[in-house]
Amino acid sequence: MSTPLLELRGLSGGYQPIQIFQNVDLTVEQGASIGFFGPNGHGKTTLMKTISGVLEPWRGDVIFEGQRLNRAKARGSRRWRNFNYDVVTPRRMDPKTVARAGLIHVPQGNLLFPEMTVEETLSIAPLVAAERHQSSAHESALHEKVGALFPRLQERRNHKNRFLSGGERQMVSIAAGLLADPKLLILDEPTLGLSPKLRLELCEAIKTIRAAGVPLIVIDQDIGFLTELIDVLYLFDHGSISRRLERAEIPSHDQLMAMLFGEAV
Ligand SMILES: Nc1ncnc2c1ncn2[C@@H]1O[C@H](COP(=O)(O)OP(=O)(O)OP(=O)(O)O)[C@@H](O)[C@H]1O
Ligand SMILES: [Mg+2]
């Protein structure tokens, strides 16, 4: 069997001193996409932030294309205890290394720099992938694809991010993710809080991204949308995976609610 794209082995983490998720084991096979579905506040975003190295894993491993992205050693030597750990302890997991490996995280919420223009924002992303392929032809082909996917951004390219609508900002985030040439793209609630029209536009764009062969990890509350994108769905509650469902086994939204909460809601 080929090496999986991503493996999580016994991954635990949270915000010191509160543990948010524990013992997450997961495999994303090459070419596959997976979805996460679960109640609010149960740790989906925290797990994604740990996979991409924004947060330090507490225990366990993140393995991408057979390479462990986190360093094994937990802490520095005791004699450094009196110093500020954030300064003297090397990070166990570095988000730059993760992104350069091709694991790209489009985070939940509106996290663009407000004073940067669309064009400036999108000019940074390709730098992440620059080490993996030096050809400028590849980069301009990628720019063209992303331009075709989000024509709206072309019109807005000189606008500052803070003047964009929520949907347009989400498009900028996803476009930036694509320009980093992902081997695996994490989309955390990409359509949350959008107007129906923009939501539809964005859903179509994400389906096109999937159809172009980009493997995804998608978190979304719309099970119909998820089912169109993914091969495997994970139900996630109380900080761990409670169920794994192949696409053909994914039931209706109400039945999923019953699985999660014990009764139909
Ligand atoms: N920066 C933070 N510092 C401390 N606690 C946090 C922080 N961010 C989130 N939390 C807490 O961690 C828990 C899990 O939050 P998280 O955002 O991972 O959940 P989620 O499943 O993604 O929820 P949602 O579906 O609403 O996006 C919550 O109790 C939340 O209050
Ligand atoms: Mg979340």
State the Rg of the chain over Cα.
19
**Is the CB of 262 within 6 Å of ligand 1?**
no
Q: In this structure, are strands 240-246 and 59-64 parallel, antiparallel, or unpaired?
A: unpaired
Pocket test for ligand 1, best of 16, 22, 24, 45 (most atoms within 8 A of CB): 45
Class of domain 6-261: alpha beta
Q: Looking at the predicted structure, is the pLDDT value of residue 81 above 60?
A: no
Q: Is ligand 1 within 6 A of the CB of residue 108?
A: yes
Nearest ligand to the CA of 39 is: 1
Nearest CA to ligand 1 atom 30: 41
**What is the Å distance from ligand 2's center to 110 Cα?**
12
Q: Which tops the pLDDT comparison, 64 or 255?
A: 64
Phi, psi values for residue 59, rounded to 5°: -145, 160
Look at residues 93, 65, 67 and name the one whose alpha carbon lies nearest to residue 182: 65
> What spacing in Å lies between the alpha carbon of 97 and ligand 2's midpoint?
23
Check residue 252 and give its pLDDT.
87
Interval 14-61: pLDDT, tens: 998 999 999 999 999 999 999 999 999 999 999 999 999 999 999 999
How many whole angstroms from its chain centre is CA 175? 13
Query: Where are the chain's structural domains?
Result: 6-261
Q: What is the pLDDT of residue 71?
A: 84
Atom 11 (ligand 1) nearest CA: 41
Cα of 55 to ligand 1 centre, how many Å?
12
Rounded to the nearest integer, the mean pLDDT of the chain is 89
Instruction: Kindly report the protein residue whose alpha carbon is nearest to atom 29 of ligand 1.
Output: 41
DSSP β-bridge partners for residue 133 = none
Q: How confident is the model at residue 77 (pLDDT cuts 50, 70, 90)?
A: very low
Is the Cβ atom of 49 under 6 angstroms away from ligand 1? Answer: no
Q: Is the CB of 50 under 6 A from ligand 1?
A: no
Ligand 1 binding pocket includes 55 (Cβ within 6 Å): no
Average pLDDT over residues 203-221: 95
Q: Does the beta carbon of 183 sit less than 6 angstroms from any atom of ligand 1?
A: no
Assigned token pair, 222: 């719309």
**Of all atoms in ligand 1, which is nearest to the CA of residue 40?**
25
For residue 75, pLDDT over 60 is answered with no
Residue nearest to atom 8 of ligand 1 (CA): 46
pLDDT tier, 91 (very low <50, low <70, confident <90, very high otherwise): confident
84, pLDDT greater than 60: no
Question: Is the beta carbon of 15 within 6 A of some atom in ligand 1?
Answer: yes
Q: Which of 204, 248, 242, 265 is nearest to 37 (CA)?
A: 242
- The answer to whether residues 175 and 149 touch, using CB atoms and an 8 Å cutoff, is yes
Name which residue leads in pLDDT, 254 or 189. 189
Share of the chain above pLDDT 90, in %: 69
Nearest CA to ligand 1 atom 28: 41
